[in-house]
Amino acid sequence: MSSDIDWSDTIKKEAEGINGEDFGEVQEVSNGFVLVQRGIINKDRFLIPQELAESYDGDIVRFRISEDEVLSKYREGADLEAAQTNSEQTDRTQETAQNVEEAISLTEERLDVSKDVQEDQVQITKEPVTETKTIEIPVTHEEVSIERRPPSGGEGQVSSEGPVTSTQEISIPVKKEEVEVTKTPYVKEEVIVNKKPVTETREVTEEVTSERVSTEESS
């Protein structure tokens, strides 16, 4: 840009066109114009508007015009107003030739899915189950038996008692074991309840809206 150029440093520096054409050396800068001279014997002198300067790298001043333009429009001796008009026309032509861009934002809805941890309950039930069990247990009881044998004092011994004259019952105690059943609770086994995470994939379907552009020429 011409506003960024230190024009006092450009004197006796080379000048070039947009395609690298040699315009000669910068001789003077004044009143918004750059005086450039090319050649030694047959000298060409050009009066180029400063705003047409594109860059300066310390050795070369580059202008955004071609050699045909500098020869036809900016040769020294032409009317300054005409040169200014030509410069403005050149700027307008270049601005018209540039592509005009306008940004149009297109929006689209995006699905944002989050996960919420919820607590549920799993019921574990203990219930009584009745079954019949049979256990064999040996029990003992006394039984009475009658054995006949000779008297211990020998046969013919005189008894102090006479024979019974009526029926007489004699009670002899006998013992027997009875079975008593009691029930005592005990820990038969343990049931271990484990919790572990199980991952499954679920599909979430939702409509989203996006924008698109189309062109329509009015008649």
The mean pLDDT value of the chain amounts to: 83
Give kind and range of the element (H or E) at residue 132. none
Please report which confidence band the pLDDT of residue 13 belongs to, taking 50, 70 and 90 as the band edges. very high
Residues facing 46 on adjacent strands: 36, 75
The single residue listed with the structure tokens 């580059």 is 62
Q: At 34, which CATH number?
A: 2.30.30.240
Q: Where are the beta strands (DSSP E) in the chain?
A: 14-16, 22-30, 33-38, 44-49, 53-56, 60-63
Please report which confidence band the pLDDT of residue 96 belongs to, taking 50, 70 and 90 as the band edges. low
pLDDT tens digits along 177-207: 988 888 889 888 888 988 889 988 888 898 8
Cα 64 to Cα 2: distance, rounded to the nearest angstrom: 11
Residues in the chain: 219
Report yes or no on 173 lying in a domain. no
Q: Is 71 left (phi over 0), alpha (psi -120 to 50) or beta?
A: alpha
Highest mean pLDDT of the ranges 63-67, 158-162, 196-200? 63-67
pLDDT tens digits along 125-138: 888 999 898 988 89
Report yes or no on 165 lying in a domain. no
Report yes or no on 119 lying in a domain. no
Cα 156 to Cα 133: distance, rounded to the nearest angstrom: 61
pLDDT tens digits along 37-61: 998 888 899 999 999 999 999 999 9
pLDDT of residue 81 exceeding 50, the answer is no
Mean pLDDT confidence for 77-94:
54
37 phi, psi to nearest 5 deg: -120, 135
Angle, CA 185 vertex, CA 180 and CA 191 arms, to 5°: 150
Report yes or no on 35 lying in a domain. yes
Number of folded domains that form the chain:
1
Cα 92 to Cα 116: distance, rounded to the nearest angstrom: 62
Report yes or no on 37 lying in a domain. yes
Report yes or no on 7 lying in a domain. yes
Question: Residue 48 belongs to what domain range?
Answer: 2-94
Report yes or no on 111 lying in a domain. no
Cα 56 to Cα 10: distance, rounded to the nearest angstrom: 8
Report yes or no on 189 lying in a domain. no
